[in-house]
Amino acid sequence: MTGTVLEEGLRGAGGYLLDGNRERFMHKYDAKLERATRDIVSRAMFSEMKAGHLTPNGGLYISMGHLGPENVRKQFKGMVERCADCGFDLAGGLVEVVPTAHYMMGGVEFDVDCTTALQGLFTAGEDSGGVHGANRLGGNGVANSTVFGGVAGEEMAAWVRREGGSQAAFRDADRAQIDAAIARCEQPLRAKGGAHGNLEPLRETLFDLMWEKVGIIRDAQGLKDALGVLSGFDSELDAYTLADHSRAFNLSWHDWMNLKSLVQVSRVIAEAALAREDSRGAHFRADFPKAGALETSTYTSVRQADAGGRLAIDMKPVAFTRVKPGQTLIRDAA
Ligand SMILES: Cc1cc2nc3c(=O)[nH]c(=O)nc-3n(C[C@H](O)[C@H](O)[C@H](O)COP(=O)(O)OP(=O)(O)OC[C@H]3O[C@@H](n4cnc5c(N)ncnc54)[C@H](O)[C@@H]3O)c2cc1C
């Protein structure tokens, strides 16, 4: 089943993951079995799939029936209904599943008051990076957006009150930047020649590339291959001419702009993954499987270095202001 997410609580409640032969496999990967953290479970699933232990549709199974179908129906009403909509019986049968990316842990660098390096630009929620470290725990996505959304709102209001009358706070828009952005967006309306066809195959190929080479298990060769292909996609998009040049409700134009952004974000992810020669949380390098020294942890900061789109990468030290590696805030555990 793809296109919807089955919640982690299913594994937490005791659900089993099974391979195509209907056998459990998590014992090969972690003593916590299906209750291991999501990065470990994803890698285990990916490895089983790579090894060819597949269900008819190329995935694996989750099975809840041993917990009692009535109980599952009661405890996971929404999930059972969602699966039924897709033709699967979660309460008593098997549901085909695959690991998926459903969260972006990177984002704009920001301070705890939601300010950024650009004066007047605030960020919060999934657009901001660093809140979860290398591995977001279940439930913390909405908490992040809610807490920092509130902080950003209050800070923005205070900033407007404070800076409202100051000319410095509200600079004139940079006309050259705006014109350059418009020119970039209008490119497929101007270009002559090139393809006029459907952008969907390119988007599908991009998804497959990111899944295969930049996804759950990465290595230097795969990442370099991916960067080469991404650069080709960019050129292909630059040479693309849309058949329909209208500016009103032109969905193909939207698709083109979205694809340009997706290729750009994909490049950032692949470059950052290539630069990071260790494995932390959701970032796993088969050629550098160890986490490395936690005390000297760094995070990866990527910025566009020039108008040509070259990326500059800095590894910046993590400031452990409250809890250092090896410490805990949980009283009992401490
Ligand atoms: C399938 C799925 C299941 C999840 N389950 C959980 C869970 O169980 N627990 C949990 O904690 N987290 C979960 N998450 C993560 C969590 O839902 C998200 O991280 C969170 O909702 C993000 O909130 P946000 O406000 O930061 O961003 P978003 O909810 O993405 O809001 C951004 C908004 O901006 C709008 N927008 C985008 N571009 C523009 C533009 N140019 N102009 C104007 N508006 C624009 C978008 O339409 C959108 O409404 C899940 C995510 C997914 C995808």
Counting Cβ atoms within 10 Å, is residue 48 exposed (0-12), middle (13-18) or buried (19+)? buried
Q: In what helix (H) or strand (E) does residue 253 lie, and over which residues does it extend?
A: helix 251-275
Q: pLDDT (tens digit, 9 = 90+) per residue, 282-304?
A: 999 999 999 999 999 999 999 99
Query: How much is the average pLDDT of 71-95?
Result: 95
In a domain, 85, yes or no: yes
Q: Are residues 196 and 147 in the same domain?
A: no
pLDDT at position 34: 97
> Taking a C-beta distance cutoff of 8 angstroms, is the pair 140, 287 a contact?
no
> Taking a C-beta distance cutoff of 8 angstroms, is the pair 66, 16 a contact?
yes
In a domain, 327, yes or no: no
Report helix, strand or coil for 12.
helix
CA of 218 to the centre of ligand 1 (A): 26
- Bridge-based pairing of strands 311-317 and 60-63 is unpaired
Q: In what helix (H) or strand (E) does residue 312 lie, and over which residues does it extend?
A: strand 311-317
In a domain, 182, yes or no: no
pLDDT at position 328: 86
In a domain, 305, yes or no: no
Q: Are residues 78 and 149 in the same domain?
A: no
Q: Are residues 91 and 113 in the same domain?
A: no
Provide the token pair at 265: 């974000």
Q: Are residues 15 and 92 in the same domain?
A: yes
Q: Are residues 208 and 268 in the same domain?
A: yes
DSSP state of 125: G
Q: Are residues 204 and 263 in the same domain?
A: yes
CA of 126 to the centre of ligand 1 (A): 7
Residue among 196, 206, 194 at smallest CA distance from 258? 206
pLDDT at position 113: 96
Q: Which domain holds residue 27?
A: 9-97
Least confident of 14-28, 193-207, 241-255, 292-306: 193-207
Domain count, the chain: 3
> Taking a C-beta distance cutoff of 8 angstroms, is the pair 4, 82 a contact?
yes
Q: Are residues 120 and 92 in the same domain?
A: no
> Taking a C-beta distance cutoff of 8 angstroms, is the pair 245, 3 a contact?
no
From 7, 102, 128, 140, the mutation candidate for ligand 1 (largest count of ligand atoms within 8 A of CB) is: 102
Q: Rounded CA gap, 76 and 88, in Å?
A: 14
Q: Rounded CA gap, 238 and 233, in Å?
A: 9
**For ligand 1, what atom is nearest to the CA of residue 7?**
8
Going from the C-alpha of 136 to that of each of 72, 105, 113, 282, the distances in angstroms are 26, 7, 21, 8
pLDDT at 256 over 60: yes
Residue among 35, 85, 95, 31 at smallest CA distance from 63? 95
Q: Are residues 285 and 222 in the same domain?
A: yes
Q: What does pTM read for this prediction?
A: 0.91
In a domain, 329, yes or no: no
In a domain, 131, yes or no: yes
Q: Which of 54, 71, 97 is where one domain is finished?
A: 97
Q: pLDDT (tens digit, 9 = 90+) per residue, 167-198?
A: 666 778 899 999 999 999 999 998 666 667 78
In a domain, 268, yes or no: yes
Q: Which of 74, 97, 120 is where one domain is finished?
A: 97
pLDDT at 309 over 90: no
Q: Which of 97, 118, 134 is where one domain is finished?
A: 97
CATH number at residue 196: 1.20.58.100
> Taking a C-beta distance cutoff of 8 angstroms, is the pair 26, 36 a contact?
yes
pLDDT at position 334: 56
Provide the token pair at 165: 């009358």
Going from the C-alpha of 297 to that of each of 128, 256, 273, 274, 281, the distances in angstroms are 19, 38, 15, 17, 13
Q: Are residues 83 and 155 in the same domain?
A: no
Q: What angle do CA 239, 243, 249 make, to 5 degrees?
A: 110
CATH number at residue 21: 3.90.700.10
**Per-chain mean pLDDT for the chain:** 92
- Regarding the beta carbon of 58 and ligand 1, being less than 6 Å apart is answered no
Provide the token pair at 29: 């990967």
- Regarding the beta carbon of 309 and ligand 1, being less than 6 Å apart is answered no
> Taking a C-beta distance cutoff of 8 angstroms, is the pair 16, 62 a contact?
yes
Counting Cβ atoms within 10 Å, is residue 64 exposed (0-12), middle (13-18) or buried (19+)? buried
Q: Are residues 52 and 116 in the same domain?
A: no
In a domain, 311, yes or no: no
**For ligand 1, what atom is nearest to the CA of residue 139?**
11
Q: Rounded CA gap, 204 and 137, in Å?
A: 29
Q: Are residues 202 and 278 in the same domain?
A: yes
Q: Are residues 257 and 194 in the same domain?
A: yes
pLDDT at position 246: 87
Residue among 31, 35, 3, 30 at smallest CA distance from 16? 35
Q: What is the CA radius of gyration of the chain?
A: 23
- Grade residue 84 by pLDDT with cuts at 50, 70 and 90: very high
